[in-house]
């Protein structure tokens, strides 16, 4: 028995030494952090907000733990240090080390940034993550964020979104005429082209804005987040699908000078933690949306409505016109849009299998 225990101890020590040796081969000793880094992360979300806010918290926790305490990131909600839409300014200037938000919030600084969040009738969550990692998206994103003095990482994905909350039925495309709607990013540009008025409002003001009549409609994320904000209390109809944002990625942006000053081991930990936080958020959103949608329908009697096919068809045509026009305005916008469309078109050709499976499952599997 004693010999077995000694053998276990020996094996544990051997594994630990082998792991340490492997790490030393991957990252040169001079590139391993010796001092401690205490950084702040400002976000565009309320503190501890489900999904979006928890992605930032997950990321920070992973970096803290995986670095063995060499890097400690403290997350601040919108307004705790700076207002939501001033997060990029704080990080770009170097006043704060890093931030977390959505790329389309920064289109006023670099127009091409909004394409990174989502494009109307664009990529699914899986396709989006794949484009960033294997389709050249990360390289293009770094080029865009460099103009803002930042390093870019994908750090969260909303998964499939809903079409939005409306106090007016959408029966035909003309129903968008004069509609005041909170719709950020490129989806908002399409709403404008359809005759609507787009209002930029951060998450914390959504419910009061639609309750007061300041807006007639809004899109936020999906059932999980929409339920948490109580939007069902002030809107009559909940539409699907989320044509404007089939999925939207969240960004972790780091002051470029601060990033360049980090040792290689911490850079690697940040990169891997961002990927892990993205997957974790996707898992949370799928599970959370399932439960929340049932609560909205059964408990709160929310009316869920599909957009009419004719409306979706016209929105798709409008989207192509709007995106082609906007992307021709500058080199970076054209570059990122061309890359996304190329990846989307290749994905559509290969998605018949998944489409058929989902249709078959919906038709023939019994569910309540």
pLDDT digits (tens, 9 = 90+) for 220-268: 999 999 999 999 999 999 999 999 999 999 999 999 999 999 999 999 9
At residue 5 the predicted structure's pLDDT band, cuts being 50, 70 and 90, is: very low
Decide if pLDDT at 8 tops 50: no
Task: For residue 110, give the DSSP letter.
Answer: -
Shortest CA distance to 271 belongs to which of 246, 254, 287, 249?
254
pLDDT in tens, 95-132: 999 999 999 999 999 999 999 999 999 999 999 999 99
State the pLDDT at residue 367: 75
Widest distance between CA atoms in the chain = 82
What's the chain's average pLDDT?
A: 91
Helices (H), the chain: 2-26, 52-66, 87-92, 113-117, 125-134, 137-146, 185-193, 206-212, 223-229, 256-260, 264-294, 309-327, 331-350, 352-364
User: And the tokens for 177?
Assistant: 């005429």
Which CATH number describes the domain made up of 37-157+248-300+330-350? Answer: 3.40.190.170
For β-strands 150-157 and 180-182, DSSP reports them as unpaired
- The mean pLDDT value for 331-338 works out to 98
pTM of structure: 0.87
At residue 20 the predicted structure's pLDDT band, cuts being 50, 70 and 90, is: very low
Could you tell me which residue, 330 or 27, shows the higher pLDDT? Answer: 330
pLDDT in tens, 286-333: 999 999 999 999 999 999 999 999 999 999 999 999 999 999 999 999
Neighbours of 3 (CB within 10 A): 7
Shortest CA distance to 157 belongs to which of 225, 250, 224, 272?
250
State the pLDDT at residue 308: 98
Decide if pLDDT at 32 tops 90: no
Least confident range of 165-169, 338-342, 362-366? 362-366
Decide if pLDDT at 30 tops 60: no
Least confident range of 34-38, 165-169, 281-285, 297-301? 34-38
State the pLDDT at residue 351: 86
Decide if pLDDT at 19 tops 90: no
Domain ranges of the chain: 37-157+248-300+330-350
- The mean pLDDT value for 55-76 works out to 98
- Distance of alpha carbon 307 from alpha carbon 209, whole angstroms: 23
Answer for the pair 179, 219: CB distance below 8 angstroms, yes or no.
no
Residue listed under structure tokens 């940040």: 270
- The mean pLDDT value for 42-47 works out to 93
Least confident range of 33-37, 83-87, 171-175, 187-191? 33-37
Could you tell me which residue, 219 or 19, shows the higher pLDDT? Answer: 219
Q: What is the number of H-type helices and E-type strands within the chain? A: 14, 11
State the pLDDT at residue 27: 54
């Amino acid at each position: 028995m004693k010999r077995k225990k000694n053998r276990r101890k020996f094996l544990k020590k051997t594994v630990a030494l082998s792991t340490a040796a492997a790490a030393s081969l991957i990252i040169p000793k001079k590139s391993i952090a010796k001092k401690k880094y205490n950084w702040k992360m400002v976000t565009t979300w309320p503190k501890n907000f489900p999904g979006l806010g928890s992605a930032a918290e997950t990321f920070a926790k992973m970096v803290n733990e995986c670095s063995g305490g060499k890097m400690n990131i403290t997350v601040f909600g919108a307004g705790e240090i700076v207002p939501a839409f001033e997060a990029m300014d704080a990080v770009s200037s170097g006043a704060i080390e890093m931030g977390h938000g959505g790329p389309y919030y920064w289109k006023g600084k670099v127009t091409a940034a909004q394409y990174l969040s989502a494009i109307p009738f664009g990529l699914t969550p899986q396709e989006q993550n794949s484009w960033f990692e294997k389709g050249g998206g990360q390289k293009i994103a770094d080029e865009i964020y460099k103009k803002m003095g930042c390093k870019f990482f994908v750090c969260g994905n909303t998964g499939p979104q809903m079409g939005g909350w409306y106090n007016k039925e959408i029966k035909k495309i003309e129903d968008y005429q004069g509609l005041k709607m909170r719709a950020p990013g490129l989806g908002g540009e399409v709403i404008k082209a359809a005759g609507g008025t787009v209002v930029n409002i951060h998450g914390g003001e959504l419910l009061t804005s639609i309750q007061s009549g300041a807006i007639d409609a809004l899109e936020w994320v999906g059932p999980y987040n929409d339920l948490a904000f109580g939007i069902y209390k002030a809107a009559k109809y909940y539409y699907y699908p989320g044509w404007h944002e089939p999925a939207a990625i969240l960004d972790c942006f780091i002051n470029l000078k601060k990033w360049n000053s980090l040792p290689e081991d911490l850079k690697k930990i940040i990169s891997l933690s961002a990927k892990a936080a993205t997957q974790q958020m996707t898992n949370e959103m799928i599970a959370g949306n399932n439960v929340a949608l049932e609560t909205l329908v059964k408990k709160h009697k929310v009316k869920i409505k599909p957009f009419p096919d004719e409306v979706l068809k016209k929105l798709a045509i409008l989207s192509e016109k709007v995106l082609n026009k906007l992307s021709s305005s500058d080199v970076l916008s054209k570059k990122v849009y061309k890359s996304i469309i190329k990846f989307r078109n290749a994905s559509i050709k290969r998605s018949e299998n998944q489409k058929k499976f989902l249709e078959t499952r919906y038709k023939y599997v019994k569910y309540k």
